[in-house]
Amino acid sequence: MKRLTPSWSWASLPFLLIVWILIASRFPSYVLPQPWEVWREALRWMADGSLWPQLRASLLEEFAGFLLAVVLALALGVGAGLSDRFRDFISPLNSLFMAIPPIAWAPLMLLIFGLGYLSIIVVIVIAALFPMCVTIQEGIRSIRGGEVRAARTLGANMRQLLLHVYLPSSLPFITAALRIGFSQAWRALVAAEMLGASQGIGWMVAMGGQIGNSSQVLLGICLIGLIAWLMENLVFRRIEQRYQSWRVC
């Protein structure tokens, strides 16, 4: 019988809290507050109802931009995986846009679209689209030719090949692309909100820094990490575990 190895993942967050408490004890609270002071700040934001509009604004922008990026990435990634000519055309664009930090686009988008949801959503799409496109493309290309030939022998057309061969076989890559794309989109969202937004979690962090409220800054940072952690563990990791047996070796 295979011996089970205990997981120490449960200890990481308590360890982080202990390190935080020890480091914060060496600084004044207005520089680096203790975790309980940040918790009191969170209770104050919740009590006056000002926390929920920030969360709602960030999540609305995140999912709007992310879902649009998913649709575009599926179209471009599948097309690049199936067509050598299209892959040759889009590969330089993928390399170019992936090399430019998404936050570099934020000032330009603010000038074009002004303050508001649209400029931030465009930054999110740019951040998430190209990493997902490359991952989906590689998933389509990894499908063995024998599977496609067998389906064609049975009379499958291109639409049936996409629905019953290419997409199911590349699901592990698609779920990995979603995971990567969401994390890229989340980082871009927070950075864009810090530069040019009137609400949102990134705005909370930026405003806290401007007024010297370090508890507000750390509250925003904790919310950013918490939401990313929840998406990773409750959504993407579970989806990837489901298709683990399909992953190409």
The count of domains in the chain is: 1
Q: Which residues of 154-173 are buried (b: 16+ CB within 10 A; e: fewer)?
A: eebeeeebeeebbbebbbbb
Question: Where does the pLDDT of residue 233 fall: very low under 50, low under 70, confident under 90, or very high at 90 and above?
Answer: confident
Closest CA to 161 of 150, 171, 176, 172: 150
Question: With pLDDT > 70 as the criterion, what percentage of the chain qualifies?
Answer: 84
Query: Does the pTM of the predicted model rise above 0.75?
Result: yes
CA distance readout (Å), 96 to 127, 216, 236: 12, 36, 27
- Indicate whether 37 belongs to any domain: no
Residue 127 lies inside a defined structural domain of this protein: yes
pLDDT on residue 162: 67
Q: Which pairs with CB-CB distance under 8 Å and at least 24 residues apart come from 91-100?
A: 93/130, 94/130, 94/133, 94/134, 97/126, 97/129, 97/130, 98/130, 98/131, 98/134
% of residues, the chain, pLDDT over 90: 33
Q: What are phi and psi of 57, to 5 degrees?
A: -65, -45
Q: How far apart are the first and last CA of the chain?
A: 25
User: Which residue in this structure is represented by tokens 């190409």?
Assistant: 248
Which structural domain, as residue segments, surrounds residue 145? 52-245
- Kindly state whether residue 240 falls inside one of the protein's structural domains: yes
pLDDT mean over 69-96: 90
1 part of a folded domain? no
Q: How confident is the model at residue 219 (pLDDT cuts 50, 70, 90)?
A: very high
pLDDT value at position 128? 93
| pLDDT tens per residue across span 21-63 | 999 889 888 888 999 999 999 999 999 888 999 999 999 999 9
- For residue 196, what is the domain's CATH number? 1.10.3720.10
Start-end of H helices in 48-169: 51-82, 84-99, 106-113, 117-141, 145-153, 158-161, 167-169
pLDDT-based confidence at residue 197 (cuts at 50, 70, 90): confident
Positive/negative CA dihedral, 135, 67, 181, 129: positive
> Does residue 25 lie within any of the structural domains?
no
* 188 neighbors 102 (Cβ within 8 angstroms): yes
CA dihedral 55, 56, 58, 61 (to 10 degrees): 170
In a domain, 39, yes or no: no
User: Which range (27-31, 79-83, 114-118, 127-131) has the least confidence?
Assistant: 114-118
Residue 136 CA to residue 8 CA, distance in Å, equals 33
Asked if residue 69 is part of any domain, the answer here is yes
Write down the pLDDT at residue 39.
93
The rounded radius of gyration (Å) of the Cα atoms in the chain is: 22
Q: What share of the chain is helix, strand, coil (3-state, %, to 5)?
A: 80, 0, 20
Query: How many C-alpha atoms does 32 have within 13 Å on its Cβ side?
Result: 9
The residue type of 149 is R
Domain assignment present for 35: no
